[in-house]
Amino acid sequence: MTLQLTVSDMACSACETSITNAIKAVDERAIVSTDPKTKRVSVETQESETAIKAAIAAAGYTVT
Give per-residue pLDDT as tens, 12-62.
999 999 999 999 999 999 999 999 999 999 999 999 999 999 999 999 999
Termini Cα distance of the chain = 19
Nearest residue to 52 (alpha-carbon basis) of 38, 36, 32: 32
- The CATH class, in words, for 2-58 is alpha beta
Domain ranges of the chain: 2-58
pTM here is 0.95
